Amino acid sequence: MGEDIAIIHMDRAGAHTTNELSWPENLIPVCQPSHSPELNPIERVWEYIKKELVGEVFTTLEQLRERLKQVLEKITLEQISSLSSYKFILEALFYAASY
């Protein structure tokens, strides 16, 4: 077993919370509260994308794909980091690093 500490962020699906799982000592599971998709970092990215598309109508899948491509091409690394970083995740990583 390595000396590194790892944090795994997950939902409370039955497969993730069963007593049959055995976690290595250096793996820290961080579970979201039940029914809380807003805590999933990708959900904030989707919210941003949807706001960019408000009021637009697409008559073909190709039109939607092209518009999504435009939206995704203008998103910066800093925006993705800001949208997908949660204080509790960053704090958990900070404390794990000092463990």
In a domain, residue 43? The reply is yes
Q: What is the pLDDT at residue 37?
A: 63
Residue 68 has what pLDDT?
A: 96
Is the residue at 68 inside a domain? yes
Whether 1 is covered by a domain: the verdict is no
Q: What is the pTM of this model?
A: 0.53
In the chain, the number of structural domains is 1
The 8-class DSSP code of residue 40 comes to S
To 10 degrees, the CA torsion angle through 75, 30, 88, 95? -110
Task: Give the domain extent around 93.
Answer: 6-97
Q: 5 with 26: CB under 8 angstroms?
A: yes
Residue 69 lies in a domain: yes
Task: Give the span between the Cα atoms of 10 and 40, in whole angstroms.
Answer: 8
Q: Given this model, what pLDDT does residue 27 score?
A: 82
Name 20's Cβ contacts closer than 8 Å, sequence gap at least 6. Answer: none
Query: What is the chain's pLDDT, residue by residue, as a tens digit (99 residues)?
Result: 567 888 777 776 666 666 777 778 888 877 777 667 666 778 888 889 999 999 999 999 999 999 999 999 999 988 988 887 777 666 766 776 665
Tokens of 71: 């939206």
35/71 Cα distance (integer angstroms) = 28
Q: Are 28 and 88 in contact (CB under 8 A)?
A: no
17: in domain: yes
